Structures are given as C-alpha cells and as structure tokens.
Amino acid sequence: MNWSEKLAESIMARTPYLYQDKGYDRKWSYDYGVVLKGFQLLWLKTKKKKYLDFIQTNIDYFVQDDGTIKGYDWEEFNIDHINTGKLFFILYKETGDVKYRKAAETCAKQLVSHPRTSEGVFWHKAIYPWQIWLDGLYMGAPFYAEFIQTFPSKKDYQDVLRQFEVSYQHLFDTKTNLLFHAWDEKMEQPWADAETGLSHHFWSRSIGWYLMAAVDTYELLHEEVDSRLLVQILTTTLEALLPYQSETGTWYQVTTETTRKGNYLEASGSSMFVYAMAKGIRLGILEKEAWLPQLQKSHQGLFDEFVLETKEGWLNLNKNCQVAGLGGADQRDGSYAYYISEPIVCNDQKGVGAFLQALVEVEGVSE
C-alpha cells in the first residue's frame, strides 16, 4: 500500500463521518471539502469504489433529495461555504443523481449575489466587508470555474480569472514576491495597514490556499482560456518560498520569520506547497528536471517533521495550526504574536486533507 492509500485508510478508520469529528458538531464546513478532494484524487487514480463511497457518505448527510444543503444558508455570503460544494461535480458525474446538480446550483446562486470589492472580487464574508483573503480564492474560484465548465451554456471564465488578477495585484509583496494574508479595500480594519490596507505578515497556510487555488483553476481552464497569470502566480510564489524553507524542506507558520522566537514548522502550509509543486510538475508548468529534487526533499520533510504512525498503523499528522484569521468577534490583530498563539493540533482536517492531496500528486509524479 502506498502512502496516500495508507493515509486514506487512517482517515476512514479514525473519522468515518467527517462531520462527527471533534469540534464540527455536524456543521456544513469547508474542511470536509479539503479532505474529500483528496479522496476524489484517489478515486480517479485507483477506481477503488470505497473512496467514492466515502465521499458520497459524507456529502449525503448534507445534500437532500431536492438539492438543499443541510446547515447551509447561501445568503450568509460566506465564501468558505462554497468549498465542499466542489464534490458535487464528481458525484453528479459518477451517479447521475440530479440532487448534486441542484446543490451545485445552490452554491452558484450564492456567487451570483455575493458582495464584491469595487474591482469585482468576492468579499471573504459578508461579516468581513471589503476584504480579500488569500484563503477565499481556494474556497470559491475552482468551484466557480468548474460550475461554468460543467453546466451553463455560456462559458464566461473571465470573472474567475479576474478574482486572481485583482487579488494578486493587491496582495503581492514586491520585496519578497510572496503574498500577504489579506487586504482591506477601505483600510479601516484594525489589522490593516493604514496606507496600504494590507495585513502585516505572511501566513504559510494562506499562501498555500492561494497556490492550490491557482493550480486547481489552471488545471480546469488552461485549455479553455489564457491562463498565463495562474502560471505566473505558481512559479513566482514557489520560487519565492525556497529561501524560507527549513533544512528539512518544510516551512514555518509565519513564513519569513524563520529565526524568530515562537515560530514553528507547520504541517498544513508545508503540505499545500508540496501539492502545488507536484501538480505544477504534472501539468507541465514546472520543469520536472529542475523541480523534482526540491519536491522530493519537501515530500520527505513532511514525513520527517510531521508524521507519526500509531500502533494501529494509522498515520498522524502533527503540528497543524488549528485556525487563523483576522478581525471578527475575537478582534484578531494579525500580529506575529497572534499567528503563533493559535492552537497547534494533530490531524486537523485542513492539514490532513492537504497532505492527502499532496501525497496523491507526488505519487503521480514519481510513477
């Protein structure tokens, strides 16, 4: 058994119902979608029905026969709530059940009305007005692209690409070639720089979300429309990350603060970078000969730094930042102290899901 399937078996044994995992309380969450996309990759690779069944079992708890989604209110305008909807496409394709199409249309209805910045980028949430977060591109853009590709007769992809164009313009840092976590168009948030509107630090997982969004959207659209910007985002950002990696080939929670007290090597962001690298190689964006040694180093680093095997033979992924955000009810200030203060947990679904996706992609490159 290869590592991706070993991890999948660990997930299925430990959390057969993702929505019953600790802290989720059966809520509709974007976290499930990160894990289940890994199972989708495994299903497409192996055609082992248990992986498709795992996706369907977890999604069917939420999707009703009429296509409504339990616990999801599209008028809440939370871009995170779109992410798990990415699984509707594979389920509709494999089962033909119209409820998955209806559920996808419900998520798409949110995007039609979702509030936007003055330049047309989706706000991260209605409760976070006028803000672009790197995380939001992963949550919304690949779904948006695949919905247009799968259902409507009019294939207008420019609005999808504009999400990247405008966000990259505002969040890109010319000194490091990396991307800040978030930008407030109104420059009013306590965490935002009064002159630029930018948050003040580079958070690895947010950069990882953005890279996954770029490479996933490229895979969907590059044969349909000019996707050179997505290539630029992937190559420029991955090259910019290399000076900040540890000796093991993994990355820190606060990306550039490699020697600062309290910073730590973080599993979810590191896994996302490995995923983006491997998929970039597979899709021909990154030259295999040049990038394969780096990929192998970082892939091995994930195991050396974060993975422990239990007596049951399950894989545990350690050192995951549980959550990080800006503002909100807790008035998260985006300081260095804030980013290192959030709980560090084992087997967080966002980390495990990114790790599973990374393993499948790395194995695809190595075969």
Indicate which residues carry an active-site annotation.
Answer: 135
Secondary structure of the chain in HEC code, one letter for each residue: CCHHHHHHHHHHHHCCCHHHCCCCCCCCCHHHHHHHHHHHHHHHHHCCHHHHHHHHHHHHCCECCCCCECCCCHHHCEHHHHHHHHHHHHHHHHHCCHHHHHHHHHHHHHHHHCCECCCCCECCECCECCEEEHHHHHHHHHHHHHHHHHCCCCCCCHHHHHHHHHHHHHHECCCCCCECCEEECCCCCCCCCCCCCECCCCEHHHHHHHHHHHHHHHHHHCCCCCCHHHHHHHHHHHHHHHHHCCCCCCCECECCCCCCCCCCECHHHHHHHHHHHHHHHHCCCCCHHHHHHHHHHHHHHHHHHHEEECCCCCEEECCEECCCCCECCCCECCCHHHHHHCCEECCCHHHHHHHHHHHHHHHHHHC
Q: In a 10 Å sphere around its CB, with 0-12 CB exposed, 13-18 middle and 19+ buried, how is residue 292 labelled?
A: middle
Give the other-Cβ count within 10 Å of 153's Cβ. 4
Closest CA to 325 of 212, 199, 239: 199
In order of 123, 134, 172, 252, the CA distances from 213 in angstroms are: 16, 9, 15, 20
For residues 7 and 351, give the distance between their C-alpha atoms in angstroms, rounded to a whole number: 12
